[in-house]
Structure 1
Amino acid sequence: MRALILAGAATALLGACASTTDMTSDEFVFPEGLKIMEGGYPYVGGPCRLLGETFATSELLDDSADLLGCPRNAMQDPRVRAAGRVVGEYEGVVLVSVPKRPAQ
């Protein structure tokens, strides 16, 4: 019985390590020069992040548009490409200007 419990515990630990490694290896790390305001753009769970004002983004911000930062590989997704227009790049992050919708 004790061997069975130890085997189960070892399996659980190995499974936890494997899932943690898989999860972190696929995550994109945004550079420190960008101010992340919110995540999951242009759709819930999406790869892009709403950016705030920093030295790197100050000239690209506009009152009529949001500025997104997207990992370069996210631009392959048609939903991301359709969100707005590319206005620059910063340390591997594609900067996308997305027009704000008028209040209704």
Structure 2
Amino acid sequence: MSPILEGCSMPPVRSTSLATTILITSIVLSACLSKPHSQMETSLDESFPDSVNAFGDGFPDAGAPCRRLGESSATSAYLDHTRTLAGCLSRSDAEALGGEIVGHLDGVWLISIPNERPTP
């Protein structure tokens, strides 16, 4: 035994409890990493500031990262009865919606989308 460790007694480390801890940690971390980046980025609705009056559970479909935007002092200039105003937290999500990007406000990309798509 090393002279430094003489007189010291340490309880034996149980390898099963260490292995269990490592296993649980691995499972938790892999669950976090398995979400696509866009879901992790937008899973918190509080990311949309109150100033844009975001509502719904996704736009254009439930679970999508963008939201419809309602009337507020910040959005009123962008509202039009013939178009839907939507907001996305990333520019790539905004571009994917189609429509016209009309602004960027408090971290939200504003997109104006025609209610009726023109027929070719």
Q: TM-score higher than 0.5 here?
A: yes
Cα displacement (A) at 1:42: 3.5
Question: What runs of 5+ residues in structure 1 fail to find an aligned partner?
Answer: none
Larger radius of gyration: 2
Tell me which of 83, 87, 104 is aligned to 1:69: 87
CA shift digits 1:6-28 (9 cap, x unpaired): 623542245325644786x8414
Secondary structure at the counterpart of residue 75 of structure 2 = coil
2:72 match = 54
Q: Which is bigger in relative contact order (C-alpha 8 A, separation at least 6)?
A: 1
Task: Please give the alpha-carbon distance, in whole angstroms, between the structure 1 residues aligned to 2:58 and 2:52.
Answer: 16
Match of 1:27 in 2: 41
The one-letter code matched in structure 1 to 2:55 is M
The corresponding residue for 2:58 is 40
Aligned-pair identity (%): 32
Question: Which is strand-richer, 1 or 2?
Answer: 1
1:7 aligns with 2:25: no
Counterpart residue type for residue 51 of structure 1? L
CA distance in 2, matches of 1:99, 1:49: 15
Q: Which residue of 2 aligns with 1:93?
A: 108
TM-score (norm 2): 0.58
**Equivalent pairs, count:** 97
Normalising by structure 1, we get a TM-score of 0.64
Query: Which residues of structure 2 form unaligned runs of 5+?
Result: 1-13
Q: CA RMSD in A?
A: 3.3
Q: CA deviation at 1:97?
A: 0.8
Residue 51 of structure 1, CA deviation:
1.0
